[in-house]
Amino acid sequence: MNKISALLFAFFLTAHAIRAQDTEEAKILSAKDDSAKIIRLANYAFSFVDSDKQKAARLYDELMRLSKKLNYPYWSGMVWFNRGYMSAKAANDVQAIQNFDSAIMYLSKTNRVDMEAYSHLNIGAIAERLGKIDEKVSRISKAIHLLQNTKYQNILANAYNAMGVLFFNLDEYNKGLTYFQKGAKTAVQAKDTSTLVEALYGMTNCLSSQRKFPEALTNANEAVRLATLRGSDYTLCVAHNSMAELYRKWGKAGLCIEHARLVLQYATANNDVQYQLIGTMGLADGNRLAQNFRESIRYYNQALQLGKEKAVVIQLDDIYKGLSEAHEHLHDNGPALDYYKKYIVYRDSVSNEKIRKNAAELEVKYQTAEKEKVLSQNKLQLAQKDLQLQKSRSYIYYALGAFVLVSLVAILLYLQSRYKKQSHARELQSIQQQKELQLLQALMQGEEKERSRIAKDLHDGVAGMLAAVKMHLSSTGSADGLLKEDGYRQGMNLLDEATDEIRKTSHNLMPEVLLRHGLDVALSRYCERVSSNKALKIQYDSWGEIDRFADSFELSVYRIVQELLNNIIKHSKASHGMVQLTQQDDLLSISIEDNGVGLATGGNDQGGMGLHSLQSRIKAMNGKIDIKESEDGFAAYLEFEILNIKREVAV
């Protein structure tokens, strides 16, 4: 019986991988060492993981240097994680395990239990194909322990699948089917197509191993359908291998060969050594089933060579068994016997080890039991002697027990009362904090409404009146004569300047471009307008596709950035600044930096809303801010959770 192969989990460092030329690499490496550079470099490195492994390794070396310099253990862990993934795909399994263990060392210092669990699951998958079953059990258990009571349902589905693989390979098909069904259900809830295909593959194998072929075919067809829609070479390998395995057990040689050839095709395109081995074995099994024994032997020998080169031992017993049966049908009794002996050795190696281990455990248990038997006899003799003494002491014990019981009840009542008081105090504090946040949000909304009203009054009222005054002055009968007067011309020029200032003030109070085009365009134009002053240049960049959000959220973020830039203009004496806007999944982040002397003069207490007010506003918006000042300049990093504030944009 063929075993289900180990499943490896890759992880994209960010939501969108960037394909770029060498000029892009030079641009990234020459940038300032900061968090934005780390994100861009991580994206760029991952885009070469499959296409140019040497370049990817070189870029990951630079990413490791940068993450250590900036003290980002998460990114150090992710460098080791992706190194492990590349080693595993090349079937360098020992190196892959070392890399994933290094990733765990760094990731355990962060709150990213998802990636820590992925590392354990990958090590478990690799350990299985190296024949280390106990190591796989240990790693899956650690992953499940980490994932309990977390939001990472997709990874939990992978853990269920891994446990299903374990029971299937132990020929416990009903238990395996139960775990694969849990994995499929959880993957559907998490909308994880790749994990769902792997669960369907496991269900197909468990059912076909019990000769429930029509039911197994339903799952295999669904796996192929989903994999085709997704278009991933790896997922297509998994789906078509489920078909090849099903038709092999069903005795349909032609269909087995057809799907095994597709597995080998997609594995070669993806440079996946493990599935190249599986596809080659599928072709060997299919040809043996079709009684093309010499062709079968050729494919088995190719699989044997590949397995020995890459030290992948989990399929060796199946290869030796297939070679033995194929040579037997050709009446090559000598090779058939030799390969059968090798099959027996590899089949029993793991079982013999377990038998030896169990025997040793039984021996220890027996010796322990004998010692306990002698101790029990001695204790019985002593117990008989002590029985009389115990009777006389029993009343004392009863009295002491009653006293202890009453004391415990009193202590429990006291602790319960104290806990209730503390719980009530925490509830009051929580309610007070919620009220403060609601009040702050109401003040922010009221302030923006007042800004909007003032902007409208200035634009529609005062600006209109000034325009009317200019029109009346220009249309007077003696206007031509007045144009020669310096005072008249000066007054008209001042009238124009006043109109422009009122319009600028109106737009600053309620920027129309923000309402029409959103945060990305509004911040870009504001930075461009600030940069028109030759004393300070503001560079603006945005990464990812920036969505539209609720008007109040966009306006509040715009005000915060505007306030920080105004403080830079007033206090930092900077010549160059940078604003970066990034959206990744459900997180919006903004970086603001300059090369000035910092904002200590006014940035915290005197500069506009002040640091305390700024932090309160951001907290009310479900965000956070980190501000750093040094001799090299000022840096602020803002993050906002945007899961429930996105809005659809009409096309």
Position 6 pLDDT exceeds 70? no
Q: Report how far residue 427's alpha carbon sits from residue 419's, in angstroms, rounded to the nearest whole number.
A: 12
Give the pair of three-digit tokens for residue 498.
């006043």
Domain ranges of the chain: 1-146, 514-647
Q: Which residues pair with 540 in a beta bridge?
A: 579
User: 401: Cβ–Cβ under 8 A, 6 or more apart, which residues?
Assistant: none
Sequence letter at residue 443 = L
Model confidence over 462-501: pLDDT tens digits? 666 776 666 666 666 555 666 667 777 777 777 777 776 6
CATH of 514-647, one of 3.30.43.10, 3.30.565.10, 3.10.580.20, 3.40.50.1100: 3.30.565.10
pLDDT of 362 > 50? The answer is: no
| Average pLDDT of every residue of the chain | 80
Per-residue pLDDT band for 15 (boundaries 50, 70, 90) equals very low
Do 143 and 121 touch, CB atoms closer than 8 A? yes
Specify the higher pLDDT residue, 264 or 544: 264
Structure confidence at residue 100 (pLDDT): 94
To the question of pTM greater than 0.75 for the whole model, the response is: no
pLDDT tens, residue by residue, 623-635: 899 988 877 788 9
What's phi and psi for 51, nearest 5 deg? -90, -35
pLDDT at 319 over 70: yes
How big is the chain, counted in residues?
651
Asked if 572 contacts 534 with a C-beta cutoff of 8 angstroms, the reply is no
Q: Are 157 and 199 in contact (CB under 8 A)?
A: yes
Dihedral sign, Cα of residue 483, residue 485, residue 489, residue 492: negative
pLDDT value of residue 457: 66
Mean of pLDDT values over 182-203? 93
pLDDT-above-90 percentage for the chain: 24
User: Given this model, what pLDDT does residue 464 score?
Assistant: 64
Q: Is the pLDDT of residue 167 over 60?
A: yes
Q: What is the three-state SS of 18-70?
A: CCCCHHHHHHHHCCCCCHHHHHHHHHHHHCCCCCCHHHHHHHHHHHHHHHHHC
For residue 449, pLDDT beyond 50 = yes
Evaluate if residue 106 carries a pLDDT over 70. Answer: yes
Query: Residue 377 above 80 pLDDT?
Result: no
**Taking 50 as the threshold, does the pLDDT of residue 368 lie above it?**
no
Q: What is the pLDDT of residue 651?
A: 44
Q: How confident is the model at residue 409 (pLDDT cuts 50, 70, 90)?
A: confident
Task: Using pLDDT thresholds of 50, 70 and 90, give the confidence band for residue 452.
Answer: low
pLDDT at position 430 over 80? no
Question: How far is 245 from 56, CA to CA, in rounded Å?
Answer: 35
**pLDDT at 610 exceeding the cut of 70:** no
Question: Which among 65-69, 103-107, 453-457, 574-578 has the top mean pLDDT?
Answer: 103-107
Q: What integer pLDDT is reported at residue 417 of this predicted model?
A: 83
Banded pLDDT at 303 (limits 50, 70, 90): confident
% of the chain residues with pLDDT over 70: 75
Q: What is the CATH number of domain 1-146?
A: 1.25.40.10
Cβ contacts of 631 within 8 Å, gap of 6 or more: 597
pLDDT band at 153 (very low <50, low <70, confident <90, very high): confident
Higher confidence at residue 48 or residue 610? 48
pLDDT above 70 (res 229): yes
